[in-house]
Amino acid sequence: MFNNLGDRFKDIFKKVRGQGKLTESNMKDALREVRLALLEADVNYSVAKNFVSRIREKALGEEVISGVNPTQQFVKIVNDELVKVLGGTNVALKKAEKGMTVVMLCGLQGAGKTTFSGKLAKFLKSKGEKPFLIGADVYRPAAKKQLKVLAQQVKVGSFTIDESTDALKIVQEGIKAAKDENATYVIIDTAGRLHIDEELMKELHDIKDNVKPDEILLVVDGMTGQDAVNVAKSFNEELDITGVVLTKLDGDTRGGAALSVKEVAGKPIKFISEGEKLDDVSAFHPDRLASRILGMGDVVSLVEKAQEAIDEKEAKKMEEKFRKNQFDFEDFLKQFKMIRKMGSIAGIMKMIPGVDTSMIDMGMAEKEMKKVEAIIYSMTVEERRNPKLLKAGTRKGRIAKGSGVQVNDVNKLIKQFEQMKQMMKMFNSGAIPGLGMMKGR
Ligand code: GDP
């Protein structure tokens, strides 16, 4: 599922790479492609349009975050928007404050209702609940038997009346049977039709009015794309459902239904099903699906960490110092601390796509970093602020001793520091364009 959409996004991100800043003109093509990719994945037209316009707004209005580049920032914006369109956060299945929680399932024939009854029973059982199934699909002849078999497989109680076509009666008696068994959840499988019709809605209304379910979950076939979204919209208008279950997201589903249903029908997706087996079901988490679509979970957490760790005011001050070539060892130490806050070097490097960490000796990099830190800590504040003082051999000897390194190591660091300052001078004089990695751009 979502393979095509994921590939399209990756291509788009590749094209954005290398831009110094996100601007109206360099975003134009990328945004057009995002819209096309969504439409191709069968996302509802107005959902796609709104999606793109929100990304545009955010990308152009976004403050530049130090420590990440514009591509990474763009990935994060797209990710956040995806999460939002998918519903934001997981909306868990309700649990009645006291007594049995009643879950009514509805949907068109073949959507996967009966199968989902069994899946939900298994899911709840694994959470320590005691579910009970009621087979009130009086329309499809094999449904009641199918439900009974599922209940046996999951080893939970079930109820139906084989010879009855009175759905309400089955439900009422089933609820009594469930109470007798001290069930904590009762799951009602109702009848579907090939299309939404009055008879179906009347039957569902009767059940709803009578048993007042805690949850009315609509089961829709994710493979039907926009039809699934329209079905969800109609059922919601009729029955005021509490959530949606998307089935058949395995195989070559393009995923448009998942991306449109929340925005069009206004109700959260609570579960997704990705196969015929009882275990092929999971609670729906928008962030996990977004991350699966984009395949960029690592970049997203990198940007989040940078946003948390980097004090923008501090970063600006630092930039100013670079520009005026007033950067000293105190600032060096501050930069170190910022990076440290983002985690270990190995962790940070691994999060950056395209960096082949197997080529870098992470242990060595960590060790080097610690060594440099120790040397700077052994300097007096005066020395850090005025690195010229470090020319004196006695000072270098003292620092080496204090930090447990050789004088040579101290010399090396001072030399590197001087080289860096030299380089900054060249950047600032325009001899080398841009401030490169130090500004994170
Ligand atoms: P109902 O009429 O809504 O009760 O539908 P069923 O539960 O009988 O399901 C109809 C068909 O869809 C059955 O063959 C199920 O095995 C199949 N099915 C249900 N959920 C999924 C799913 O998530 N993936 C796939 N591939 N098939 C499913």
Tokens of 329: 């060892």
CATH code of the domain in which 85 resides: 1.20.120.140
Answering whether pTM is above 0.90, one says no
Instruction: Using the atom order of ligand 1, give the atom closest to the CA of residue 115.
Output: 7
Do both 106 and 249 map to the same domain?
A: yes
Domain contains 305:
no
Task: Note whether 130 and 179 are within 8 A (CB).
Answer: no
Task: Name the residue among 90, 89, 76, 84 with its Cα closest to residue 305.
Answer: 76
Domain that holds residue 68: 3-89
Q: Write out residues with Cβ below 6 Å of ligand 1.
A: 107, 109-115, 140, 143, 192, 247-248, 250-251, 273-276, 280
Do both 178 and 152 map to the same domain?
A: yes
How remote is the CA of residue 199 from the centroid of ligand 1, in Å? 23
Start-to-end CA distance of the chain, whole Å, equals: 34
Residue type, 68: V
Domain contains 95:
no
Domain contains 220:
yes
Do both 360 and 257 map to the same domain?
A: no
The long-range contacts involving 58-63, CB below 8 angstroms and separated by at least 24 positions, are 59/22, 59/27, 60/22, 60/23, 60/24, 60/27, 62/22, 63/312
Which of the residues in the chain have pLDDT under 70?
A: 1, 18-20, 62-67, 252, 296-298, 301, 308-312, 340-360, 362, 426-441
Give the pLDDT of residue 410: 93
Ligand 1, atom 9: closest residue by C-alpha: 112
CA angle 166/171/172 to nearest 5° reads 100
Do both 170 and 278 map to the same domain?
A: yes
Do both 390 and 244 map to the same domain?
A: no
Do both 107 and 83 map to the same domain?
A: no
- In the annotated binding site for GTP, the residues are 107-114, 189-193, 247-250
Instruction: Using the atom order of ligand 1, give the atom closest to the CA of residue 143.
Output: 4
Give the pLDDT of residue 238: 93
Do both 389 and 326 map to the same domain?
A: yes
Do both 25 and 167 map to the same domain?
A: no
Give the pLDDT of residue 368: 81
Interface predicted TM-score (ipTM): 0.99
How remote is the CA of residue 283 from the centroid of ligand 1, in Å? 17
Do both 263 and 212 map to the same domain?
A: yes
Number of domains in the chain: 3
Do both 164 and 41 map to the same domain?
A: no
Domain end position, chosen among 54, 89, 124: 89
Give the pLDDT of residue 160: 96
Residue type, 206: D
Domain contains 289:
no
Do both 108 and 232 map to the same domain?
A: yes
Which of 104, 106, 115, 282 gets mutated to test ligand 1 (max ligand atoms within 8 A of its CB)?
Answer: 115
Give the pLDDT of residue 343: 64
Tokens of 361: 């000796």
How remote is the CA of residue 48 from the centroid of ligand 1, in Å? 29
